[in-house]
Structure formats: C-alpha cells, structure tokens
Amino acid sequence: MTTQQLYEQIKRKKSFLCIGLDVDLDKIPQHLLATEDPIFEFNKAIIDATHDVCVSYKPNTAFYEAYGLKGWQSLEKTIRYINEKYPEIFTIADAKRGDIGNTSSMYAKAFFEDLQFDSVTVAPYMGRDSVEPFLQYKDKFTILLALTSNDSSSEFQLLKTDHDELYKEVLRKSKTWKNSNQLMYVVGATRAEYFREIRKIVPDSFLLVPGVGAQGGSLIDVCKYGLNKKVGLLINSSRGILYASDKEDFAEKARFEALKLQREMQIIYEKL
Ligand SMILES: O=c1ccn([C@@H]2O[C@H](COP(=O)(O)O)[C@@H](O)[C@H]2O)c(=O)[nH]1
C-alpha cells in the first residue's frame, strides 16, 4: 500500500482510526471459548463490524505469541482474512522488532513476505543497520518507536543528549536513512504536548498514535498539533473498543465505540 492509498481511504471514510486487535482470552465473551479458534472468531466478528469506520487494524503480536503455536495461527488467519476481505485496510504488526542486520532481515521477511502486513513497528535503538532491512520492501512501512505512551518512556526517550532529547535525535537521524520515506513513527496520545515539536521535524510523516481510550489520551489534544495537510495520523484504540461488552453483543458494542471515535474524527477532518 502507498501513503496516497491510505490517505484516499481516510478521505473516503472520514476516519483515521486504527483498531488494535489485542485479544485476551480472559476478556472475550464466554461463548466464543467453545469454538475451535476463539481468537480468530473474536477478531472476525470485530473486523466485520468495524471495517467501514476504521482505516487500519493493529494486532499486537504479544497477544498471539502468548498462546504459542495456536496463537500464531490465529494471527495468520486474522491477517489473511483482512487482506482477502478488506484489502483497502492498512495493517500494522505491532511487534516492536529490530536486531543486527541479518536478523532484522528475517523479521522483515516474516512480517512482510510471509504474513503480508503493510507495516511493522520497530525499536530504533540498535541504529540504522537494524532498521534498513525493513525499509528495503517497496510499499511497506516501518513504524519507529519515537515517543511512546507509557509513563517510563521519559526514562530514556526524553533524556537530553548533547544536541536534543533522544526521541528528537531518533526522528532526525532516521530521516537520513535509505528509503526513509517509508518510515512512520509511534508517538503516544498521552504525550500530546510534544506533537508541536515533533511536527517541526517530521511534518509530512504518518504518526501512529496509541493511548486514546484505556490510557486516557485525548483525540482533540493530539489533533491540535499532530494533524498535517494529509491528516498524517493513525489514532489507535484497542481495549476501549474490543471490550465494550463481554456478552453476545460484543461486536455491536465495539462498533458503537469505534463509531463514536470516527464521528469525532469526521468533525475534525471536515475542519481541515
Ligand atoms: O507507545 C506505545 C506503543 C504501543 N502501544 C500499543 O498500543 C496498544 C494500545 O492499547 P490500548 O488498549 O488502547 O491501551 C497496545 O497494543 C500497546 O502495546 C502503546 O500503547 N503505546
């Protein structure tokens, strides 16, 4: 997928919502546990109920890896289902990978060639040669952790280097890497006060913004400085949508929560 195709989808749906598919078997409705693949059945129902109000799905791989081989198979079935039934959707493997070059190449192969995700999240701290293997894939995106939503992100990411805070160095340095036009960045919604500075460094890049909903981040605050001419934001909510109900009406209730966010986004988009 290209960023232009992603933008066309945003315009058509008047939405820049990304739904996080973080499936926890302790939280999904009981009746699904009797099915052969409860994780996939849950995801399928959520996807069918929400695909027209969001532009992206983001399974966090931890929620699949935790269930071993069966979990990985559920992830595979989920991504294949999205790609076949809703090919316009931008898919994100939230896997936070990155290693020495030859190992990163294998991670890239796993997520881009085997699973056919459009993008994968990557930690930047091993430097250029740990990220460039992901950037070799045309029309695939590498989403670098810049300023994350958790409280302790300040322990390292906000540390002052000789030049600037570390997250700003990550943004600046990464722009010099080969194929850096295929980079996007993770910035937490709980860090809304930093978006003005971030946009000075990466005015045109897409930012993946988790932290709205369960973590308390504000859509309005993020949009104040985070939006660019082509929207440039993918706002993620996972638990706030997935677990709106643990009864048989879970997909309907999830749609209701997603629609609430989409309507807020529509108002913001129409004022752009
Ligand atoms: O800075 C970050 C980076 C990633 N995440 C991930 O996003 C979702 C958020 O889930 P919610 O339930 O909406 O809080 C989850 O997969 C995180 O691992 C993040 O929250 N912050």
Going by alpha carbons, the residue nearest to atom 19 of ligand 1 is: 210
Q: Give residue-wise pLDDT tens across range 72-106.
A: 999 999 999 999 999 999 999 999 999 999 999 99
Any idea what DSSP says for residue 53? T
Q: How many domains does the chain have?
A: 1
CATH of the domain at 40: 3.20.20.70
> Mean pLDDT in the chain?
98
The pLDDT value given to residue 59: 99
The pLDDT value given to residue 79: 98
CA of 211 from ligand 1 middle (Å) equals 6
* Cα(131)–Cα(129) distance, integer angstroms: 5
Q: Give residue-wise pLDDT tens across range 150-199.
A: 999 999 999 999 989 999 999 999 999 999 999 999 999 999 999 999 99
Residue 245: closest CA among 82, 15, 17, 30: 30
The pLDDT value given to residue 164: 95
User: Containing domain of residue 238, as a range?
Assistant: 3-270
Tokens linked to 158: 């906000």
Tell me what the mean pLDDT of segment 200-223 comes to: 98
Any idea what DSSP says for residue 212? B
Report the DSSP pairing between strands 183-187 and 90-97.
unpaired
Tell me what the mean pLDDT of segment 15-27 comes to: 98
Tell me what the mean pLDDT of segment 22-32 comes to: 98
The pLDDT value given to residue 246: 97
Rounded to two decimals, the pTM is 0.98
Substitution candidate for ligand 1 out of 54, 75, 212, 238 with most atoms within 8 A of CB: 238
The string of DSSP codes covering 214-265 is: TT-B-HHHHHHHH-BTTB-EEEEESHHHHTS-SSTTHHHHHHHHHHHHHHHH
Residue 96 among the catalytic residues: yes
